[in-house]
């Protein structure tokens, strides 16, 4: 007897959680990048301010600063550029993330995304990835300006790329801090103002523009263990710029490791806080 067996229908394979999360994140990233392109004033203004600061410090203030073991305006220009890279990334990323998230929350966009069948956290990750793309553009323009004022990377292309990679990684980590602020405050104006409360100490109480050895004891300790200081010091080391041995503190002697560790810790911690806040925002 011939028995004809009919194969059961193959169930439709649904994308895995990771695949869905990546897909949703890319969709949100694309939405944020397109939004920036349609409002070019945001990108232009984010470029103008750091370029003005670079020119001011390079040609007006450089002769007023003294570095241990290095002398002259040319030495200070190379010393300051990693600090300006870090400052620009920190201020631009955190401010953009917090204000954009506060705008989405106030306009009801967060509630709309939460009602869609999308991966949790995709809205937040898409926001930070879009800021990473914008940072890469800003840094590219700043590199051109830095080359014009005399900055050079002396250890080759690969180490220079590693230095910029650490700078962008720190910027990505700080963007999660901005996301938490944007989900916490009630208005975009409050988000913009609150950033100065922590970005100014983070940037100026560091080795970005002055050597920590010139600071009083307590401030020197704070500058040595500042996450931004580790990133700036790592960039100087990889670029071959002056200011490598300003102090004997452990973070200053192992800046690449400390910078990567700080960035990963900040990103993990504040992403966790952001996801929790996102789940309860507007509830």
Grade residue 169 by pLDDT with cuts at 50, 70 and 90. very high
Residue 12: predicted pLDDT = 41
Q: Is the distance from CB of 59 to CB of 149 less than 8 angstroms?
A: yes
Residue 5: predicted pLDDT = 45
Residue 113: predicted pLDDT = 81
DSSP the chain: ----PPPPPPPPPPPPHHHHHHHHHHHHHHHHHHHHHH-HHHHHHHHHHHHHHHHHIIIIIGGG--BTTB-SHHHHHHHHHHHHHHHHHHHHHHHHHHHHHHHHHHHTHHHHHHHSS--TTHHHHHHHHHHHHHHHHHHHHHHHHHHHTT----S-HHHHHHHHHHHHHHHHHHHHHHHHHHHHSSSHHHHHHHHHHHHHHHHHSSSSSS-GGGS-HHHHHHHHT-HHHHHHHHHHHHHT-S-TTS---HHHHSHHHHHHHHHHHHHHHHHHHHHHHHHHTT-
Helix (H, G, I), strand (E, B), or coil: what is residue 138? helix
Q: What is the DSSP letter of 9?
A: P
Nearest to 182, CA basis, from 282, 47, 269: 282
Residue 283 has pLDDT above 90, yes or no: no
Residue 242: predicted pLDDT = 75
Residue 73 has pLDDT above 70, yes or no: no
Which residue would you say has higher pLDDT here, 228 or 247? 228
Nearest to 77, CA basis, from 239, 252, 215, 216: 239
Which residue would you say has higher pLDDT here, 4 or 193? 193
CA–chain centroid gap for 73, Å, is 28
- Structure-token pair, residue 85: 């890279």
pLDDT digits (tens, 9 = 90+) for 97-149: 998 898 888 888 888 887 888 877 888 999 999 999 989 988 998 899 889 88
d(CA 111, CA 161): 39
Where are the domains positioned within the chain? 37-280
pLDDT (average), residues 87-106 = 88
For the ranges 35-49, 89-103, 114-128, 220-234, the lowest mean pLDDT is seen at 35-49
Which residue would you say has higher pLDDT here, 55 or 85? 85
Residue 258: predicted pLDDT = 96
């Amino acid at each position: 007897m011939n028995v004809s067996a009919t194969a059961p229908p193959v169930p439709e394979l649904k994308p895995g959680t990771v695949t869905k999360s990546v897909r949703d994140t890319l969709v949100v990233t694309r939405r944020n990048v397109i939004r920036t392109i349609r409002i070019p004033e945001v990108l232009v203004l984010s470029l103008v301010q750091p370029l003005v600061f670079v020119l001011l410090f390079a040609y007006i203030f450089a002769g007023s600063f003294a570095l241990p073991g290095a002398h002259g305006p040319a030495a200070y220009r190379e010393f300051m550029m990693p600090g300006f890279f870090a400052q620009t990334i920190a201020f631009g990323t955190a401010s953009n993330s917090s204000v954009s998230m506060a705008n989405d929350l106030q306009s009801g966009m967060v509630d709309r995304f939460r009602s869609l069948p999308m991966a949790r956290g995709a809205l937040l990750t898409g926001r930070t990835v879009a800021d990473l793309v914008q940072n890469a553009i800003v840094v590219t323009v700043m590199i051109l300006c830095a080359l014009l004022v005399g900055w050079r990377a002396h250890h080759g292309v690969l180490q220079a790329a590693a230095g910029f990679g650490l700078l962008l990684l720190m910027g990505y980590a700080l963007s999660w801090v901005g996301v938490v602020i944007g989900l916490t405050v009630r208005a975009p104006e409050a988000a913009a103002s609150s950033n100065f409360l922590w970005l100014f100490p983070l940037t100026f109480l560091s080795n970005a523009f002055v050597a920590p050895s010139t600071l009083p004891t307590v401030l020197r300790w704070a500058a040595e263990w500042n996450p931004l200081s580790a990133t700036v010091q790592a960039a100087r080391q990889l670029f071959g710029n002056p200011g490598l041995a300003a102090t004997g503190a452990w973070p200053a002697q192992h800046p690449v490791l400390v910078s990567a560790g700080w960035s990963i810790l900040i990103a993990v911690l504040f992403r966790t806080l952001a996801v929790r806040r996102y789940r309860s925002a507007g509830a």
